[in-house]
Structure 1
Amino acid sequence: MTDISSLTPVATFCGKCSCGCPELFIDESAAPERRVVITDDFGQRVEMSADQFGSLLEEAKTGRLDNVAVA
């Protein structure tokens, strides 16, 4: 699993089990383009800028990602 001890937790997605649900973190020590971190239950992580994460949020708010949730 990826080391998350230095990251600031923001949100846990699912949270209804103890299987290592995906989580959203902020890494204050990272370069700005890698500050937002999403981890998954397979030990992987995605790093992105706040602007990139904001773009993802906007896509979700408009409903463009709704079909992904039912896949």
Structure 2
Amino acid sequence: MNDLTGLQEVATFCGNCNCGCPQLFIDPQAPEERRIVITDDFGQRVQMSADQFSSLVEEAKEGKLDALITA
């Protein structure tokens, strides 16, 4: 993973292994449209705005992403 200096950790997804689980961060130094950072266990990252992340969370709460789990 690239440098995580300055990022504030919010959550780790999985956490049951030592394989580099996906994580959710806030980057307080980033522009608003890139403030939310999600990393994966392959060293990649996705950056988005709080509004975009809110939309993702809302769709998950509504069950719109449930089919991904059973695929």
Q: TM-score, normalised by structure 1?
A: 0.96
Q: Which residue of 2 aligns with 1:66?
A: 66
Shift of 1:17: 0.3
Deviations 1:2-58 (A, max 9, x none): 211210000000000010000000000000000000000000000000000000000
Q: What is the CA–CA distance in structure 2 between the aligned matches of 1:13 and 1:21, rounded to whole Å?
A: 6
Q: List runs of 5+ in structure 1 lacking aligned partners.
A: none
- How many residues align structurally? 71
| Cα RMSD (Å) | 0.7
1:11 alignment counterpart: 11
Pairs within 5 Å for 1:27-66: 27-66=27-66
Tell me, which stretches of 5 or more residues in structure 2 are unaligned? none
Give the Å deviation of 1:69. Answer: 1.6
After TM superposition, which residue ranges in structure 1, 4 or more long, deviate above 6 angstroms?
Answer: none
TM-score (norm. length: structure 2): 0.96
Q: Which amino acid aligns with 1:25?
A: F
1:55 is paired with a residue whose SS is: helix
